[in-house]
Amino acid sequence: MSRPPDIVALKEKYKSCIKTANMLGALEALDAVTEACKITNEDVPIFDIAHNCFLYLSPDLKYENLINQYHGRKISDATLFYLNEEIRRRTFLQSFAPARTLLTPHRKRQLIKTMNAEPRVFGFGLNFKKTLGLDAEDCAYVDIPTQVNIPPVYKMKMSSNHTIFWLHDGRFFGCGDWKNYMIAPQPPETIDNSEPHRCDFMVKPGERATGFKVLEFGTLFETNQRLYFVGNYDLSKEYLKTIHDAEFEKVQEYFPHNSNFWVCHSRPYTTIMRHKLDDGKNAVTIKILGLTHLIQIYPGYWTELNPSHVKQRPVCYLLDGQEVKNLRIENITNNTLWALHENALYHGTMMMMLKENNDGDEHNLDNYILFVELLEYRTPTPFVATGIAASGRDSVLMKCGDFPYIGFDHFEMLENRFRGEHVHKFMFETVEKYIENCYDQSQYTICQKEKSMELNIDYLAGEANQLLNSGLLDEELKIDFMGRTKKQYRYANFISFLCYAVTPRLPTRPPKCFDMDIDVLIETDNMEFLARHRFKQLIEEFERVNYPGTNIWIPLEFRKAHSDPEDDVLTEGQYRATALKWCLKDFIRQIIRWKSHSRFDSNERSNLIMINLINTIWYIHDQWFVINNPAVSIPKDDLFLSFLRESQYLIPDDELIYPSLNPGELLENRLREGYLLNPGELEEQLDIRMTFLLEHRDPTLKPTRLDIQTCRTILNAQYPALLHYINEHNVLDLNKVYPNDKRIHRLIAQTHFIGNGVTDLEGCEKYRLTVFEQLGMLLVHTQSYMRRGRTRYRGYVKPINLGALAHLAGHTPGSNYDIPVVTSDGSLIYCHRIIPALYSTLRPDEPLPNILSPILTVSALRGLYDRRCWDSIQMNFRVKIVDFYFEAKMNEAFIDLLKQCVIDATTKEAPQIRALLDDYPTQMQRIIAKHRPAILLWSRVPVPSPRIQHITIILEMWPKNEYERHTRLPRKKLVHKNGVVEDSKDFPLGYKYKPFIPSIVAPSPPTVSSAAPMAPDKRKGTTMAIAQPNPNPPKNTPLVQPEPQKPVLTPAQLKEERMKSLKQQLTRLSAGRGKTGRKGRKK
């Protein structure tokens, strides 16, 4: 639909912007090249310019300029992706605006919820005594973060001499000086600190480890009964008394000749893992006027390390020129603070500054504010840092990832996705009932509409123009204190959906609602069903993109044409109202443009149906007003209204149950398409209803009723013991089979309605013998992990005796299966008649494809009703089974296995995911965007070349909307209650801004900071630049007359001048920092 611009001309424009140092223009030119490459489907021009642009952006990689983030919002995600790829190739560099704009806090939260990667530890800095656990020379400086070879870590702590790792499986590992953590004497020739090794400390039977603490000359281990110390007790006993006043005694039971193992037969009331205010180990040294002070830093204040006088004093964390709060401080060492904020890792150097309102006493700590300027640190993995350990010798260990996952908890992932108001989808499902029964009732009618009329694109445009000219959209969309659109104004989501539905995925494609890409997800010739399915999928897709529905969806073109609003409620509401009108105008423009296109057929049935479906938005709009308008009086016995209100907070069944595991849904699909004339064509009726009422662990979610229509043959091949619990009405109620314990509900639903993945087994062990084994089921532990100091388990349930199951496919014919299937080597395997009749849309005379070996063919057929068969199959063989399902026209199983491949894939299986994306692009793009968007951030991106079109479509469906209010441009003008207008003192700082350091603070000597690794060529030979006079001054330059000498000031006058200068320099920064933040000073 669009003609590609001249890429050569755009390159020249980019070069001219670079020559004039116009970085914003260079980024816009790069974005224009990306848009042109979307049409031509090529990557090379983008790679070339992105690499060159990155080199010019690299001086600003510390990303201290807030304005850069606003510029990044006006650039497409595809351009940001290619720039981010350039950053990731250089492991020693930090993040900058384009990368942070691509990975918004909301997207980082999705990475945490949907990725669940193995926690990995990276070390950098000084490897003194090999405390980093890296195979590097002693005392060598590790420039870039290097991965430490160690199993998944739960907690880690470091001293100047050694490091201790507490693993998720409960073991302790250590590195560094072995005398501080090993009990048995270690011969020098056997010591290998090239990587951490296991500690020989073990608890007694009946005890369990609950914590540990690293000291400079030893390690303190805590159990639920005792304290154990390993190391030099004489040098550590004074500090141990501050933790617990009981006596330690030497343990010589196991190692008589060793003197570094001690035990205390009691333990403190609180765990040793908690920080203590009077703990000198957690103190920070700050110098003021030559005097050293020990202070403790907290997210909201700082206090002097003095147990008798604990006074909270203000602290200011400055990020990108703006004050931030709600930080999670991870570690403080050598005057460097490490903190987590919005799922990103930051570090900053602390310094003291005088407040504006002080009494002039420079020795009084109450006159000081602690200032910390934070810099974002980019982790070596696409996941956020979840732990930091640092020592006083510039050594840093960083943990990325959290729990060790071997498989995925599908219900947990679903509940994490189901946040916000899924009103669009439910109202679409009920709108026909509304039109049929309630369109003419006075309590429901907001704007009169006729039930039947001839609809076309001109009518849709006329309806939109009527709304646009009515003045209803001129009102601002009011927001609450959290930056969320108030509920009565969230009808705007329906209007913004119209714009999203007509925006093409690519410049060469038709609008989404008329594009037939989604149609490949189902197999049918019914035009009406296709159009309805496409529209429903678009609504579900928009709900994820606009998650959680508390902010209006804003297209990129609007961001480019309008500047960001100032940081006040009125401007924000007007900004969203303007964006809403833009969306409606763009909807009109796009549909009129598509109407005049040669590819549009106004008489095509699917287009007519889609036009009718788009028109239902106005009825959905009416329903929203009815439900959320308290002024509308509706009878209490109105069942339709009750149904609408209840359905808003229910998770739909199709979000939970895989279609291939629901024979009843398969039967409906076959009957609808005419592959089965009536249910009687099956050998056995699907007359058994298996049901379960699932209570979610999230108390905000209402219980979900899960239903599956099945038969005895299939149930006998899954869990035959359940056949005895079918009642006289052919209902299998699992709530009556299992105990009424909410803790095992997720395991039950996972077993019988998902059939794949793992779940939390907390509370399930007590039913191992009494319930599960009596039902012929085995509780399997697949992994253990630590959480809040206790070991937890994940796993699943499987039949105990797999050989006793009545399988529906095998190598020899039997009473349960007699349909022959030819394999790739010409041999025969046999399956039950219900499999091809129920799962495949091939004609009865068409054989199943013969592309698999006998073993894989049996696994593929058994995997239709038992998804555990897929778990033990390698990814390359799963790809072959995917091809088998596709050729066998088993569409439901085909989609389900694609989804499972994407969810279970690891970085080692990137080639297989790339092959699937190349063969089945539409299906894989939607599955990746919905279930596993972090695949795009792998070291080897599993996207076939050219990537541009795949990347564009996936990133558009990857939700980016902000969950909460994000930082806006500060207000330029302040209007007081009395009407006085003045300039605001809060404004963004430039990236070259450095805080003023008063002369009363003793500057620290220049050192190689461990705050962030530097490039080798930058770190070596680092010197301080000192301005020197020019030895060859230019000729004909008049000599500068010396200034008259100023009179010598008295000490009192000097102090007065100094304080006056400080007040002028720090007025904006320190005004009121100890009382309120930026948001508190809006009045």
Q: Which two tokens stand for residue 121?
A: 């530890």
Say if CB 208 and CB 223 are below 8 A apart: yes
* Statement: residue 1076 has pLDDT above 60: no
According to the model, what pLDDT value does residue 468 have? 83
* Statement: residue 914 has pLDDT above 90: yes
Of 51-55, 221-225, 650-654, 671-675, where does mean pLDDT reach its minimum?
650-654
Mean pLDDT of the chain: 75
* Statement: residue 994 has pLDDT above 50: no
Q: Supply the pTM of this predicted model.
A: 0.78
Angstrom distance (rounded) from CA 829 to CA 817: 10
Angstrom distance (rounded) from CA 438 to CA 626: 11
Say if CB 106 and CB 381 are below 8 A apart: no
* Statement: residue 230 has pLDDT above 50: yes
According to the model, what pLDDT value does residue 950 have? 93
pLDDT band at 560 (very low <50, low <70, confident <90, very high): confident
pLDDT band at 291 (very low <50, low <70, confident <90, very high): confident
* Statement: residue 49 has pLDDT above 90: no
Say if CB 666 and CB 895 are below 8 A apart: no
Angstrom distance (rounded) from CA 1051 to CA 130: 51
According to the model, what pLDDT value does residue 1035 have? 43
Q: Which two tokens stand for residue 949?
A: 């079109």
Angstrom distance (rounded) from CA 1008 to CA 395: 11
Nearest to 101 by CA among 376, 303, 324: 376
Burial of 308 (0-12, 13-18, 19+ CB in 10 A): exposed
Q: What are phi and psi of 615, to 5 degrees?
A: -65, -25
What angle is formed at CA 145 by the lines to CA 144 and CA 150, rounded to 5 degrees?
Answer: 145
Q: What separation in angstroms does the CA of 1041 have from each of 32, 1037, 1045, 1048?
A: 54, 12, 12, 21
pLDDT band at 924 (very low <50, low <70, confident <90, very high): very high
* Digit-coded pLDDT (tens) for 444-497: 554 444 545 567 888 888 888 888 887 778 888 887 766 778 877 777 888 888
Which residue is listed with tokens 């300029």? 65
Angstrom distance (rounded) from CA 194 to CA 391: 19
Residue 156 gets the label, from left (phi > 0), alpha (psi -120 to 50) or beta, of beta
Angstrom distance (rounded) from CA 919 to CA 420: 34
* Digit-coded pLDDT (tens) for 567-601: 566 677 888 888 888 998 999 899 888 888 888 88
Of 76-80, 357-361, 603-607, 949-953, where does mean pLDDT reach its minimum?
603-607
* Digit-coded pLDDT (tens) for 29-47: 888 999 999 998 988 888 8
Angstrom distance (rounded) from CA 105 to CA 121: 22
According to the model, what pLDDT value does residue 346 have? 81
For residue 12, the tally of other CB atoms under 10 A from its CB is 12
Angstrom distance (rounded) from CA 546 to CA 554: 9
Angstrom distance (rounded) from CA 45 to CA 455: 45
Q: Which of 573-577, 647-651, 737-741, 1012-1016 has the highest mean pLDDT?
A: 737-741
Nearest to 193 by CA among 212, 179, 174, 180: 174
* Statement: residue 345 has pLDDT above 60: yes
Q: Which two tokens stand for residue 764?
A: 């399930």
According to the model, what pLDDT value does residue 1049 have? 53
* Statement: residue 852 has pLDDT above 50: yes
Architecture field, domain 120-264 = 7 Propeller (2.130)
Can you tell me whether residue 638 is helix, strand or coil?
Answer: coil
Nearest to 516 by CA among 504, 507, 441: 504
What angle is formed at CA 646 by the lines to CA 641 and CA 647, rounded to 5 degrees?
Answer: 100
According to the model, what pLDDT value does residue 1028 have? 33
Nearest to 321 by CA among 119, 150, 664, 67: 67
* Statement: residue 415 has pLDDT above 90: no
* Statement: residue 745 has pLDDT above 80: yes
Q: Going edge to edge, which strands form the sheet with 227-231? A: 209-215, 218-223, 227-231, 261-264, 249-250
According to the model, what pLDDT value does residue 913 have? 93
Q: What is the end-to-end Cα distance of the chain in Å, rounded?
A: 50
Share of the chain above pLDDT 90, in %: 11
Determine what percent of the chain falls in helix, strand and coil, rounding each to the nearest 5.
40, 15, 45
